[in-house]
Amino acid sequence: MASSKLEVVSASKGLQYCRAREIKAFDDSKAGVKGLLDAGVVEIPEFFVMPPEVVCNKNSDPDMQNLHIPVIDFKEMGKDGRRHKEIVNEIKAALQKWGFFQVVNHGIPHEVLDEMIEGVRRFNEQPLEVKQEFYSRDYSRKVRFNSNFDLYQAKAANWRDSLFCSMTPNPPDPEEFPATCREIILEYSKQVYYLGLTMFELLAEALGLNSNHLLDMDCAKGHFFVYHYYPACPQPDRALGTSRHCDPGFITILLQDQIGGLQVHYQDQWIDIHPMKEALVVNAGELLQLISNDKFKAADHRVLANQIGPRISVACFFSTHLQPFNKLYGPIKELLSDDNPPLYRDILLGDYTSYFHKKGLGEPVLPYLKL
């Protein structure tokens, strides 16, 4: 059944093209993008095709290609030491200018990082019938696999498959996780969560607040993972791995393998975020920009499609959709003054989440909240 539905997706272009039918056939196959490659496609289906100007990776200013996002070393980060203050200032500068930085010596062992990447590989490369058991678009499922959460809303689909795992405040039973990566998901989640707590303390200090301020606002209360698997793309000049977007939460902590493809939009140019061994990428989400009243910036970013692969990444989102929807967020009152009035209205989490899911990836929420 799965293979016949995939044949519809990869059918000859001599047949009449029906976008809705092909998307449904792709989704019903529950095989994802990897299933297309396994079926032998050499041309990507039309619903993955992006306009050339969207995919273009040629920047007008060649000097910008030498730019790199900041790398912040957490080594010797004592609470009262000189290095602690330097790290706070480095984070502040990075999020004001770039919205992104890489962190090294963060405390998570390299064996854990490597095993997490391999766990994602094992899940995606296991027999299809096993993987299909997790395939779902039901947001109430805490562990689910699919390709493109916004498949039916997006103007063009992204060349990737994803496993979603909601972890806090109410984690799934361990048996709900895939057996191929269950142990490493639990271990990596625990370690990234504690790193996130440290990160929020540093962010609060960078805003001139008490170190517990953001934690007391429940910014770290909800975190979930998206494990992305980007298969090799036969036509990388016609598709994207992930479209241009800002993350919807407070911060994202990303583990990526060494293939590359992640880019941040900076001064109207796309800048590569080069993989660094044992480093983690940290970026601000829209809600951090909201509560900081634009002191920190949520930058647009994307992932290129690539002829080599698979590329694997693990994104931990410290976000909101796992928290009560009646919680209100807006610019932090302690940051406001006559010279720094609020730039955004307060919003209920339920309204924020509904707006994001209705619009899909690439449609920012912040402009909707501008005063």
> The pTM is what?
0.92
The tens-digit pLDDT sequence of the chain (371 residues) is: 444 444 444 444 444 568 999 999 999 999 999 999 999 999 999 999 999 999 988 776 777 778 899 999 999 887 667 789 999 999 999 999 999 999 999 999 999 999 999 999 999 999 999 999 999 999 889 999 999 999 998 999 999 999 999 998 888 999 999 999 999 999 999 999 999 999 999 999 999 999 999 999 999 988 999 999 999 999 999 999 999 999 989 999 999 999 999 999 999 999 999 999 999 999 999 999 999 999 999 999 999 999 998 999 999 999 865 555 678 899 999 999 999 999 999 998 888 888 877 777 778 889 999 99
Alpha-carbon torsion angle 275, 276, 282, 285, nearest 10:
-10
Convert the pLDDT of each residue in 321-368 to its tens digit. Answer: 555 567 889 999 999 999 999 999 999 888 888 887 777 777 888 999
Task: Spell out the domains of the chain, with CATH numbers in brackets.
Answer: 60-369 (2.60.120.330)
Structural contact between residues 320 and 169, judged by C-beta atoms closer than 8 angstroms: no
Question: What is the pLDDT, as a whole number, of residue 258?
Answer: 96
Task: Please name the residue that has the structure tokens 């598709």.
Answer: 239
Residues 100, 301: Cα–Cα separation, whole Å: 10
Convert the pLDDT of each residue in 208-222 to its tens digit. Answer: 999 999 999 999 988
Beta strands per DSSP E along 4-107: 71-73, 100-104
Structural contact between residues 302 and 158, judged by C-beta atoms closer than 8 angstroms: no
Convert the pLDDT of each residue in 34-62 to its tens digit. Answer: 999 999 999 999 999 999 999 988 776 77
Question: What is the pLDDT, as a whole number, of residue 16?
Answer: 54
What is the separation of C-alpha 293 from the centre of its chain, rounded to a whole number of angstroms?
22
